[in-house]
Structure formats: C-alpha cells, structure tokens
Amino acid sequence: MTDPIADMFTRLRNGYRAKKATVILPYSKIKEGILRLLAAKHYISDMEKKGRKVRKFLEVGLRYDGVSPALTHIRRLSKPSRRLYLRKDEIRPVRQGFGLLIVSTSKGLMSGEEARKSGLGGEAIAEIW
C-alpha cells in the first residue's frame, strides 16, 4: 500500500455507504491524529485503539444524523505523488466554514482554522465536509 491515509479515507467512505456502525483500520500515529480531529468536529462518534505491539488497530464508530451520514465527502489533497503545502495566508475556509481542512504543521495536526489562528502553514492533508 503506497498511501495508507487514502486507504483510511476509502474505508471510512465505504463504511458510511454500507451503513456500518464501526470500521476497523490498521494503526498509525497520523491516522490516530486525523481521527481525533474528526471526532472533535463530530464527523465520527468515537475512536478506540486496540491490540498490542505489531497487531494494533483502530476501531472507529461512524456517526449518522438520522439516516444520512455525518461525513459526506473526503478529498485527499496532498498525495505521495504531489505534495501540497500552504502558507498561513493561503489557508481558506472549506465550504464557507462548514467543512474541515486538516493541516500537518510543525506543532502537529490541526484544522485549517486553528492553523490560521496560530499563524502556521503546513501540508494540507485533506478536505472534509
């Protein structure tokens, strides 16, 4: 697998389309950070790290607003083939403030809004709405 973050997004998308309650993902620190941001912004219900040593995985609870999923679109911006870096003044709101931009900064993963307020730029990971 060349892009584990894109694989995570695909598993989340497929889980929502199949109306699953939970999705299981292989563990990594960056995936855990992205999922913590999604949980803080109420796109997923919860996230739990399970397993030990090499066999760690993440169990993600998907959130639904009635029948429709809370997360409708995920778009990977920075890819292994083409990295996308944004300066602090280039960070703009996603969907007029109703979406989420995930930025990897020198201070860790942040939403685009937090990065702009902190005066930090970085690699744009994904747009979510």
Global pTM value = 0.94
**Which residues, including other chains, have CB under 8 Å from residue 53's CB and lie 6 or more apart?**
none
Please report how many Cα atoms fall inside a 13 Å half-sphere around the Cα of residue 19, on the Cβ side. Answer: 4
pLDDT in tens, 11-65: 999 999 999 999 999 999 999 999 999 999 999 999 999 999 999 999 999 999 9
Q: Which domains does the chain have, with CATH numbers?
A: 4-69 (3.30.1370.30), 74-128 (3.30.1490.10)
Give alpha helix (H) positions in 1-129: 4-17, 29-40, 112-118
